[in-house]
Structure 1
């Protein structure tokens, strides 16, 4: 699993824009920025929709006031689902909803989680990280619950 002090692995993540499918290089996405990247096991799932993403909406301004340029939410879901989920939650420009549809980035981080017993297949663990120019400054991972990767935990780490 990725650790504090390590640089993110290169991968292409995706989002749906007005012009269609857009690929985002992780290196380009994180270059010369301090960002929060948080991951959820799945779009439209209860904890993710009811608490994780909404927490980052509520504390968005406070997190950005601590020197964060962007906030990204990533999930092993396709870009169409991530776009619609972001619209459903009214995230607007506050959070950029990113797809790791094939789970390649998640796997490269060592953050994959087998949720086959719940009919969800291979997904991401729930985590949040603070990144500076693509290097992990802080990492909070939850095996269950939301204590270590919540917006409150990120704000506390800033």
Structure 2
């Protein structure tokens, strides 16, 4: 079952790259006491994800934070090294946290899995975006067409924040 507005985000552990190498952060560490924008993508460096979805959040990061967002995070079912390389290649300057849901723990628990798709070879994340306040979902959008990032882009999140 897919999460919905009013639900709590499922607890999961994400891999993140730290100054000391791979580390972990939990859902509650990410969201406790904060307003978080979390968007999921099918794959790092894939055309829509890399050239359309992520850039909007980079461009509007300060505006989102000005509207009360404490943290912006992107999630993909890629390993932590791929997510680290994507962060570096995207020049996000620390504005966005890159989360590796390596075993699809979060996307499966949230009902946001995609596939397995032949192009990716295994279960991935649907393209989604949500706003969570202290771990509770206050906005959720899922793209019906994975190659689009309209309902889940930064402009849609800005509109939802008012």
Deviations 1:15-67 (A, max 9, x none): 11110111101112100000100000000100000010000011111111110
Q: 2:150 matched to 1:147?
A: yes
Q: Provide the secondary structure at the position in 2 that maps to 1:121.
A: coil
Match for residue 78 of structure 1? 79
Classify the secondary structure of the residue corresponding to 2:130: strand
Hey, what's the Cα distance between the residues in 1 that align with 2:121 and 2:96? Answer: 24
Instruction: Give the secondary structure class of the aligned counterpart of 1:153.
Output: helix
Matched pairs, number: 158
The separation in 2 between residues aligned to 1:68 and 1:31, in whole angstroms, is: 13
Cα shift at 1:115: 4.3
Superposition RMSD on alpha carbons, in Å?
0.9
Q: Give me the whole-angstrom Cα distance separating, in 2, the residues matched to 1:111 and 1:42.
A: 14
SS at the partner of 1:88?
A: helix
| Structure 1, unaligned runs of 5 or more | none
The equivalent of 2:93 in structure 1 is 92
List aligned pairs for 1:63-142, cutoff 5 A.
Answer: 63-142=64-143
Name the counterpart of 1:59: 60
Greater than 3 Å deviation, 4+ residue runs: none
1:120 deviates by 3.4
Distance 2:117 2:48 in 1: 18
Unaligned runs of 5+ in 2: none
Taking structure 1 as the reference length, the TM-score comes to: 0.97
- Per the alignment, in what secondary structure is the counterpart of residue 40 of structure 2? strand
